[in-house]
Amino acid sequence: MTAVPETFGMRLRRLPTGIGGAVFWLAIWSGILWLVRQAPSMSSPVLGWMQTIVAVAMFGLAVPLTLKIVRQRFLWSLRSKLILTYLLIGLAPVLLFLTLVLISTYLAVGQFSIHLADTRMQQHLDEIGLDNASRVSRIAQIMRQLAEHPPPTLRPGGPRPSGPPTGPPALAARDTSADPTMLRLDRHTAVYLNGSPLWGRPETSALGIQQHIGTEMPLGLPLWATDLGGNPFRGLVLDGQDLYLVAIDQRHVQGRGILSVVTAMPVSAAFMDLVAQDLGRVGLSAAVPGKSRTGHDNAEVYGGKEPPPAYFYDFRVPFVSTLQVREWETNVVENVPVEVHSRPSLLYRQLFGSSLGGIVTDYIKYGLIGLCIVFGLVEALALALALRLSGNITGSVEELYAATQRVDRGDLVHRIPALYSSKKDQLGELARSFNGMTGSLERLLIEQHEKERLQSELSIAQEVQANLFPRHVRDLPTLELHGICRPARSVSGDYYDFLLFHRPNTPQGNQGGECGAGIAIGDISGKGISAALLMATLHSAVRAYQLSGADLAQSGLGAPQRDDGKLFESPGSILALLNRHLYRSTQPAKYATLFLAHYDADTSELTYSNAGHLPPMVMSRNGSVRRLDCGGTVVGLLDNMEYQQETIRMTSGDILIGYSDGITEPENDFGEFGEERLLEVVSRYRDQPLHVISAQVMLALEAWIGAGEQPDDITLVLARQI
């Protein structure tokens, strides 16, 4: 068979097209431009700009082309993915961690060195300020004394001062000789009165303060510093290219004006030596960045010297920051650069002490070494895990096959691990499709089982809670009782209960009968199962206090009783115990409102205490309403709470109306149902049996809510004095 010769058109068709072709031709064009520019006669700026534009365009197209090639060819191969996994999991975290450690260490060490230098400068500034404050106090005291008792030389018409200065003796200056380092530093002090220097004025000799006034002051007193309002000034100031530590203190001398004392110490090499002691080399620039100063060079003051390394990894740490300075003439705050060259060994001594042999320091050093070992072990473990994960990639096909076998046997819970389903390749797409299919089937089964389980549990909870409410309420000879609760959901967070108390048996063996009743109304925070559980806890606690008074006896609030109601004659004490019980046995967010009352059948007295519940109302025959709001805050929210109680006397026809917010707070277009409508319905049917009154209230409330869902649990308790 004769081979067909390849034509030029066939060769052109084999050249790359699309993005690849564009990158190919741009690369050739860039190469041609580079060769042309190499000729001496063709070195034109236009060609340079053309080559730059072509290179930028080529790079912009090469990046997405490279990503596309890597994704389609390199990452599609299982072997290539394995190699990339080794690099990303094993090598990349190590490099990132080491980089982070180095950067963090450099920033921490550098910032600490700057902090040390700034702290030492501030210490010297505080020293200057103490001297300056002492000096201005002495001069002001002398001037006040002379104002009260002027010498003859200062009296009108008196002789002119001659000879040595006279006047009150000057106070002893603060001794600074104890600090030998300060003797090497020059300080300049000047005294001003109303902005004018006192040196050379005739009265300075007579005042006796000449020894307190400096003769040389490189800084004058600018306008902004003539009156600081009584506030001292301490700071670093910039005068031209010179830096000074300046302290200004002022006193108001009656009859003379404002006395200002200025002490300035130049930031010299000797001063910087003190700052840089045991720190390294510290430099402070006197030039404000971004501002040119004609006729002056950028003056820099350095102190100290760079120490030799203490060990081979004791690298030099240069760090640059800025300090705030105030321009002396303009009072403008600027920033000047400060540079510190130190070593970790020096900073380590500054941080932990001058000696490295202390026990605590050794513990810290060995602790850091141990921490590095732990980090190394963790990294080794991470590498081992990376190898294991990369091995899982090669088992993608086996995982898919095993998953199909298990689903075929009815195991819908099985899922292909995310290691395989999250990959953006063919295997990952297949794994996601498989998981989506089995996940839909599993969710349907789980939702069905969960719904059946919840329904069963809610039915049991509803049945149990229904048994907690009084089912057969027995009236007292002098008091009728009635209560009803309608949950908004399957179970309720509202609570009510009636407790009947009996008289003790007589010595002759006769039974005493009912002597009173306890009435409890509560509302638990929240709704649903959690509120129902707390309601059951509250119910059991109240019932327990009915049967036993052991807790009261232990707390000193009362003695154990049987069932004659003596224990419940103090509802405030019962609420205090209930509050302590709920606070210590429930979560902080759980609490309850509770109204607790004791009715004495012999005296028709009702003793009650209200713990944050909506105040029940007592409606009398004449229509007047009394709110029962004496008590305290809710139970279970705060520990060791006390509750007040009050006693009222029930008269014939009085109706006690206890309710929860599920009755008064339901809304429609006309607003809330409210207490007024509740009282109106009760007043209209007050002569009817209590269950009829309750039914009428519920009918009115249902009509008010309409077709909407019941928003909250509804509880209504009625008690009528016969």
Predicted confidence (pLDDT) per residue in 630-677, tens digit: 999 999 999 889 999 999 999 999 999 999 999 999 988 889 999 999
Both tokens of 209, joined, read 């303060």
- Residue 234 phi, psi (nearest 5): -135, 125
Which residues make beta-bridge pairs with 246? 235, 264
The mean of the pLDDT values for the chain is: 78
The pLDDT tens digits of the residues spanning 370-403 come to: 888 887 788 778 767 766 666 656 666 667 767 7
Q: What is residue 213's predicted lDDT score, i.e. its pLDDT?
A: 57
* pLDDT at 423 (0 to 100): 66
Kindly state whether residue 438 falls inside one of the protein's structural domains: no
**Is 253 within 8 Å of 259 (Cβ atoms)?**
yes
pLDDT at 290: 56
For range 319-343, the mean pLDDT: 90
Residue 368 covered by a domain: no
Give the rounded percent of residues in the chain with a pLDDT score beyond 70. Answer: 76
Domain that holds residue 218: 132-156+182-344
* pLDDT over 90 percentage in the chain: 24
In-domain check, residue 538: yes
- For 53-87, the pLDDT digits (tens) are 888 888 888 888 777 777 766 666 656 676 677 77
622 and 712: one domain? yes
Residues whose CB falls within 8 Å of the CB of residue 25, separated by 6 or more in sequence, listed in order: none
pLDDT at 512: 57
Same domain? For 624 and 514 the reply is yes
Amino acid 100 reads: L
Alpha-helical (H) ranges within 586-715 are 661-664, 674-684, 690-705
**Is 690 found in the same domain as 562?**
yes
Looking at the fold, whether 542 and 622 belong to one and the same domain comes out as: yes
| Number of separate domains in the chain | 3
How many CB atoms are closer than 10 A to CB 235? 16
Which pair of tokens denotes residue 51? 């080559």
Distance CA 51, CA 29 (A): 8
Those residues whose C-beta lies under 8 Å from the C-beta of residue 464, and which sit 6 or more positions away, are: 536
| Same domain assignment for residues 38 and 139 | no
Q: Is residue 459 part of a domain?
A: no
Q: Do 512 and 650 belong together in one domain?
A: yes
For residue 543, the model assigns a pLDDT of 82
Whole-angstrom distance, CA of residue 453 vs CA of residue 443: 15
For residue 692, pLDDT over 80 is answered with yes
pLDDT band at 5 (very low <50, low <70, confident <90, very high): low
Residue 505 falls within a domain, yes or no?
yes
What's the confidence (pLDDT) of residue 36?
Answer: 80
601-624: average pLDDT: 94
- Residue 372 pLDDT: 80
Assess whether 149 and 48 both reside in one domain.
Answer: no
Is residue 561 scored above 50 in pLDDT? Answer: no
Give domain status of residue 441, yes or no. no
Other C-beta atoms closer than 10 Å to the C-beta of 604 total 17
Q: Read out DSSP for 688-712?
A: S-HHHHHHHHHHHHHHHHTTSPP-S
Same domain, 61 and 187: no
Q: Is residue 114 a part of any domain in this protein?
A: no
Q: What is the pLDDT of residue 294?
A: 40
Closest listed residue to residue 571, CA positions, set 531, 523, 530, 613:
613
Q: Are residues 66 and 214 in the same domain?
A: no
Q: With a cut of 90, say whether residue 410 has pLDDT above it.
A: no
Same domain? 583 vs 512? yes
* 699-712 burial code (b ≥16 CB/10 A, e <16): ebbeebeeeeeeeb
The verdict on residue 140 lying in a domain is: yes
CATH of the domain at 678: 3.60.40.10
